[in-house]
Amino acid sequence: MKLTKKLIEQKLSEVLDPELNISIVDLGLVYDIKIKGNKVKVVMTLTTIGCPLFSLIEQEVKSKLIELDLKESDIKMELTFNPPWSMEKMSPAAKAMLGI
């Protein structure tokens, strides 16, 4: 199976934020997906800098990407707060779910 950004994004849309129960893609937390051969790098953020849930989200992301026959060692996660997350990054579906 050929890895594409669309395929990776589809798997990441199955990862739910543990507090809001909305996909990390719909929340706008995924900033970039880079693919080089069988290696994938996901650049993402959190809704707040002090959020203690990154390790939970990271494990769920890796679990979903392993379903695409990736090895855990081929998945790199980069956490960034530049630019900071804001509600404007959310999809219309996520905003509707939160009543925004």
Q: What is the pLDDT of residues 88-100, one digit of tens each?
A: 999 999 999 988 8
Q: Is the pTM of this model over 0.75?
A: yes
Yes or no: say if 71 and 26 are a contact pair by the CB < 8 Å rule: no
- The pLDDT assigned to 10 comes to 96
Distance, in Å, from the CA atom of 52 to the CA atom of 71, rounded to the nearest integer, reads 25
- The pLDDT assigned to 49 comes to 86
Burial class (CB in 10 A: 0-12, 13-18, 19+), 17: buried
Considering the segment(s) 5-86 as one domain, its CATH architecture is 2-Layer Sandwich (3.30)
Say if residue 1's pLDDT is above 80: no
